[in-house]
Amino acid sequence: MAAAVFCIAACDSDLDIQTAYPFHVETMPVPLRVTQGETVEIRCSLLAEGRTSDTQYTIRWFLYDGKGTLKYNKKALKANDRYPLLTSEFRLYYTSASSDSHSFIVVIEDNHGQSQQLEFKFNNEDEEKEAAEKGGQGIESRQ
């Protein structure tokens, strides 16, 4: 009888329900160069280890080198403003507005405090031509 009382007292009636699952975002390869006025498509897939109905994802971005715009769902995104991510498969469109190199980050966050940061770097073909004309080497960039 003492063992039964001990077992009943040791049981926890609260269930552990996982509400936050790790996730990551994968992208298809993107070009290394972009010229002024050119638009680059960035295909993305958000992959979560699990999903609950209350998990919501947002997207934001910050351009720290160059000039350009990033569109999601046909809407130009303002820097550092959060926008709801509506699907796990989505496309971003970056349009260059200068002849400089371009560098920006995209941050995907969930409402549980988890985030993933993606960094994109593009060179401009004009910069590579100028470097070659001056006897220099072309500029390489990596995603």
Note the pLDDT tens digit of each residue in 47-98.
988 766 688 999 999 999 999 999 999 999 999 999 999 999 999 999 999 9
Backbone angles phi, psi at 4, to 5 degrees: -65, -45
Percentage above 90 pLDDT, the chain? 60
* DSSP type of residue 79: T
Angstrom distance (rounded) from CA 86 to CA 90:
8
pTM of the model: 0.74
Among positive and negative, which fits the CA dihedral 64, 67, 69, 70?
Answer: negative
pLDDT at 28: 95
User: Sorting pLDDT into bands at 50, 70 and 90, what band is 15?
Assistant: low
Three-point CA angle 92, 38, 61, nearest 5°: 35
